Structure 1
Amino acid sequence: MTTRLIDESLFENGEPHGGDGPRLLGARCSGCGTVVFPRQDSCPRCPDGVMSARVLPVSGRVWSWTLQAFPPKPPYRPPAGGHRPYHVGYVDLGEVLVEARLVVPRAEIRIGLPVRLTTVPAYRDEDGTEVVTFAFRPERDGER
């Protein structure tokens, strides 16, 4: 089966899986140190800095979350069988909050939960290619 990223610019080297798994790529301002995700060309906080690529940590903590019970607006594409509710929230990676899908069972999800970056299927293209996106799952003790 063929797989592709939903957006190559979100990942380090445009790949979802490196030697230690996926890594998200943000940007950092040289003037004030603000870190953003996804990358952007100008700083949202100051006019003086130059934005440079910044590989983000793979582990963080759930900062806030909710249940996405209804299908989002386009360009969202529901999976085969239709939309199924899923958790979405903000993950605190220390330097930046990242909005992401949370692949966490309802019984486990909570603010402060340690999570780790992963990839999940988003949808299938018309040609059968599986399109994957980033998400966070519970981090287990001793995991690197």
Structure 2
Amino acid sequence: MTTRLIDDTLFDSAHPPRLVGARCSGCATVVFPRQDSCPRCSQRAMSAQALPVSGYLWSWTLQAFPPKPPYRAPAGGWEPYHVGYVDLGEVLVEARLAIERSQIRIGLPVRLTTIHAYDDESGTEVLTFAFEPDQEGGR
């Protein structure tokens, strides 16, 4: 089966996965996903910034209802899943969590991965980003 990323603009690389945000050249604020202007100082001088692949779980919750479009449920139907904010040092990233409920805790070291989002019309597996437990202990 062939695979593709859900949105190439979110990634600096796919193998291994690495997210890309933006850094303001005026005040050094880092954002994810990328945007054209800085939310802190409003400058339009944003440059691509590869983000760390590991960090710590800052907060989390259970996504207990289907998201609004453009969300697409997988072939087996929608199932609740965990989402959280991951502290990557200079930025918090909201992401799916590929972590068993019994392991989830604030401060858990996590590492970027990709997971199945859905299969598109051509049968291609579409991958999205998520964070899983980091066996090496974080940054």
TM score, norm. by length of structure 2: 0.95
Structure in which a larger fraction of residues adopt strand: 2
Matched to 1:138, the amino acid is P
Matched positions, count: 139
Deviations 1:52-107, CA, capped at 9 Å, x for gaps: 01000000101110011211111111111211111001000000000000000000
- Aligned counterpart in structure 1 of residue 131 of structure 2, from 126, 136, 142: 136
Gaps of 5+ in 1: none
In the alignment, what sits opposite 2:17?
22
For 1:13-92, what aligned pairs fall within 5 Å after superposition? 15-17=13-15, 21-48=16-43, 50-92=45-87
Matched to 2:106, the amino acid is I
Gaps of 5+ in 2: none
TM score, norm. by length of structure 1: 0.92
Instruction: Measure the CA separation in 1 of the matches of 2:137 and 2:41.
Output: 39
Identity level (%): 76
RMSD of aligned alpha carbons: 1.5
Matched to 1:87, the amino acid is H
How far off its partner does 1:141 sit? Answer: 2.7
In the alignment, what sits opposite 2:11?
11
- Aligned counterpart in structure 2 of residue 114 of structure 1, from 109, 113, 130: 109
